[in-house]
Structure 1
Amino acid sequence: MARGSFEGAGGSLLSDLVPRHLTPVPAPADPLALVPQVRAALDGTAPLAVLPAGPPAAVEAARAVLRPEQPLEDGADLVVVTSGSTGGGRGVLLPAGAVHASAEATLHRLGGPGAWLLALPVSAIAGLQVLCRSLLGGTAPTVLGSGEPLTAAVARMPARRRYTSLVPTQLRRYLDAEPAALRAFDAVLVGGAATDAALLARARDEDVAVVTTYGMTETAGGCVYDGEPLGGVQVRVTDGGVELAGPVLATGYRLDPEGTAAAFTGGWFRTRDAGTLDDSGRLTVHGRLDDVVVTGGVNVAPQAVEAVLRQHPDVVDAVVFGRPDDEWGQRVAAAVVPAPGATPDLAALRPWVAERLGGPAAPRELHRIDAVPTLHTGKPDRRGVAAAVTHRRS
């Protein structure tokens, strides 16, 4: 689609006197089948919401959030259901102009239009944005098939600038199996969850053009790249919490005026992420304010503990969360994926973490799991793990 086709996008072109309704679209086996609907949503002529692929319960939960029987709010052209990583999922109301502004700013930061590899679900904003950026750049994305080697997908891409978006778990997997395929991209955007510094360093040592992205559905996807906001985006930190502003913002939450008023105020979105800005204005995100484990009066960031646990030779992956504790208020609990042939235990992992982050951060409860489950966005399902594992300590 030519770039000019998007000019003037920013809201519905339909009369405000005619109520609009959503007809949620099931995620198709071939994401390219959604291109006509995405184009119509970005032109402001037909709203779009994509249901996640997966268990029927997850699909019905998303449909319940969308409530298609109710008229759609003014100015919304895409409604994207969040993963619910910090509670129940929400329907985020995105005007076409916000998605357009995000895609345009991304292409400007990366150096211009290119060929995109779609490796994420289109029901999540990161995957949906691959379709939108491709339309804006006048290209068709290449879809990574289920179980397809990354090398094979890259071979199907046109010989021009190449981009893709991944979550950290995918980056780690491809670094282990196909680092040469990652080097074929002019930019590998990594976001959706915190990325360990060690993983980033490893990717850069492999000459992978990795770009860390920070953002969320409410900002039409990543809006801060490598700590620096995209064009038009503003960042501030208030009482330790990151707040964002600019043309990429959603207008609010589907059928949730109270939630909208609490999160969107005065042109700013309150993210509920903890962060700091250095003297040059570069943002560092320290994790969710909601996820902080307060143990013995000390705040512990689960992401920091997870990163240290992954560095242990007996651990492949980890998820950290808090448990109620009569003595400490909360105790740090960890679920780890053992390395092949290893049997990590608290006796080994507690001192490993304590030496690097201090005693309060050392897990007091440990579970061994086969793999870290993810939400439909690719984020680790921290709450799901916490609910699934038993209270017994390993």
Structure 2
Amino acid sequence: MYVTQGLHRHVQQCPHEVSTVCAGRTRTHAQSVNRIARLAGALRDLGVTDGERAAILSLNSDRYSEFLAATLWAGGVVVPVNFRWSVPEIAESLAEVGARVLAVDDALAGYVDGIRAGSPGLQHVVHTGDGPPPDGTLSFEELVAGHEPVDDVRRGGSEVAGVFYTGGTTGRSKGVLLSHDNLLTSSMAYLAGVPTPTDRVYLHAAPMFHLADFSAWVTGGIVGGTQVMIPAFDPVAVLAAVQEHRVTDLLLVPTMIQLTVDSPRVDEFDLTSLRRVLYGASPMSDALLGRAMKAFPNARYVQAYGMTELAPIATLLTPDDHEDPARRRSVGRAAPCTEVRVVGPDDAELPRREVGEILVRGGNVMLGYWNRPEETADALRGGWMHTGDAGWMDDDGYVSLTDRLKDMIISGGENVYSVEVENVLAQHPAVATCAVIGVPDDTWGERVHAVVVPAGGAPVTLEQLHDFCVDRLAGYKVPRSMETVDALPLSAAGKVLKRELRKPYWAGQERAVH
């Protein structure tokens, strides 16, 4: 199997149907594939062949889609970049994977000089925006126009298709290696669990660098239909796009759903075309689900639980499952092509309803972490992906999350690892020591909260910490709240007892994960 396989089928079976819609541009499957084949020829001339990495730093667009497909068509490996990272974080990741080509749009072109300084192996920058290409960059459209179409190399199977960065327990992002088989297994598992017609109209409102939306892009390559892109999530932009393009399928994290359905303008739009709303990162409350059902009267809901290392789906809570209020509190059952079990510290499976670590096995499980053999071996020990999430399984196989074994915070659908934030806060002269935890937040699900022991009793404010962190961390990692304490609670071994810090914030909550 290879990710570009569906493109050939679409050109053969429905060449004149609409493939992509973006910024006033509408292209058929035949037109899109012709552009992809031409761009692939250009990328091959730039050295993107046989597993070489090509990165993209961009808001959503049809050119984003074409760049992904062209890189794979040329035999390369895609590296979607989180545009919310700081320039040093981006440069470090590109240097680590040895990316030789970077695509960048108008919104993020200002990052290029800093990225080049920190990633000396970067040889070419392709400008995907509508404005004039900045000095030292290549025009996307000129590359397409100036090259003849080349044949798809059909690199696939267990070969690496992409490197997708995620957070890590060490506090530093890890590059997750996903093969063509991994990505296609996950997408086909979704399609088996949630049958989807080929005339779907999917809206890319979540960022395309995120594996959840990337997976939806892969799914579109399998089933066909139309993919509509808006640059970034905005509640009114989502509502307008659904109405204008008669969108049938939409993926959002619950925070985005809440902002959309609670928009004061929601009643101005015809949203009756929506048939499926996929969400993840956290469960939806019954109250929010009720408001969403009212706003999208014809839509049915699907929750997917997983992680980047699982390409990304482990379990599915299907539309039918959402009809049962008890099951809505779970994250569903193992997706087709996937096994899930809950184990104790010895990795032995636990009896039903006992809490342990959630493990996953299947063709969707990653190849490993980029240049991290020890961490790969630990995560995949015994042939199972150890998620680091704690939960339990009922008698029918429905999995419920209870807590995280890893020190991770999910804020607005973004993974934040506390150690990374702590390492930055500890550099502030007014901070003697600190701990970072996730606390409940009505808007973001969880927010980053800093518990600080001031140095020498000196005063320290949230504003000071914010200003200090903002140049060193992506915005979503910067603490949104803080408290000062005289000392942090420690175990006998000297380890900070974060569960004690969390207790007052999570008391009375249904689950210790939002």
Show the counterpart of 1:163.
Answer: 249
Query: For 1:214-268, what per-residue CA distance to the aligned partner results, in whole angstroms no more than 9, with x for missing partners?
Result: 0111111233111122211111011211111111111110111011001013331
Aligned: 1:48 with 2:139? no
Aligned match of 2:165 in 72, 81, 106? 81
The separation in 1 between residues aligned to 2:188 and 2:64, in whole angstroms, is 20
CA distances 1:272-311 after superposition (whole Å, capped 9, x unpaired): 0111100000011123212499xxxxxxxx87x62xx63x
Aligned partner of residue 202 in structure 2, secondary structure: strand
Q: Mapping of 1:57-206 within 5 angstroms?
A: 57-68=88-99, 75-83=159-167, 87-112=171-196, 113=198, 114-146=200-232, 147=234, 149-158=237-246, 162-177=248-263, 178=266, 184-204=273-293, 206=295
Q: Which residue of 2 aligns with 1:249?
A: 365
Over the aligned positions, Cα root-mean-square deviation in angstroms equals 3.8
Q: Distance in 2 between matches of 1:67 and 1:56?
A: 16
How many corresponding residue pairs? 312
TM-score (norm 2): 0.53
Which letter maps to 1:199? L
Distance 2:475 2:358 in 1: 21
Three-state SS of the structure 2 residue aligned to 1:211 is strand
Q: Any stretches of 5+ residues in structure 2 without a counterpart?
A: 10-48, 101-120, 122-157, 318-331, 345-355, 410-436, 454-460, 467-473, 487-514
Query: Given the alignment of the two structures, is residue 232 of structure 1 paired with residue 337 of structure 2, yes or no?
Result: yes
**1:42/1:20 Cα in 2 relative to 1: closer, same or farther (>3 Å)?**
closer
Percent identical among aligned pairs is 23
Aligned residue identity for 1:120: A
Q: Retained in 2: the 8 A contact 1:65–1:89?
A: no
Amino acid in the other structure paired with 1:34: Y
- Residue 97 of structure 1 deviates from its aligned partner by 1.0
Higher gyration radius (CA): 2
1:371-390 correspondence runs (5 A): 381=476, 384-385=478-479, 389=482
Provide the C-alpha distance between the structure 2 equivalents of 1:32 and 1:212, rounded to a whole number of angstroms.
Answer: 26
- Please state if 1:24 is matched with 2:54: yes
> Which amino acid letter does the alignment assign opposite residue 117 of structure 1?
L
Cα separation, 2, equivalents of 1:95 and 1:123 = 16
Partner letter of residue 79 of structure 2?
A
Alignment counterpart, residue 374 of structure 2, candidates 242, 247, 258: 258
5+ residue gaps, structure 1, are 7-18, 294-301, 326-365, 372-378
**1:308-338 Cα distance to aligned partner (Å, 9 max, x none):** x63xxxx88652658489xxxxxxxxxxxxx
Letter in 2 for 1:283: V
| Letter of the structure 2 residue corresponding to residue 95 of structure 1 | S
Q: Counterpart of 1:266 in 2: which secondary structure? A: helix
Q: Is the 8 A contact 2:205 2:238 kept in 1?
A: no
Q: What corresponds to 1:391 in structure 2? A: 484
Relative distance call for 1:21 and 1:389 in structure 2 (3 A) is: farther
Deviation at 1:166, TM superposition (A): 0.7
Instruction: Output the TM-score relative to the length of structure 1.
Output: 0.67
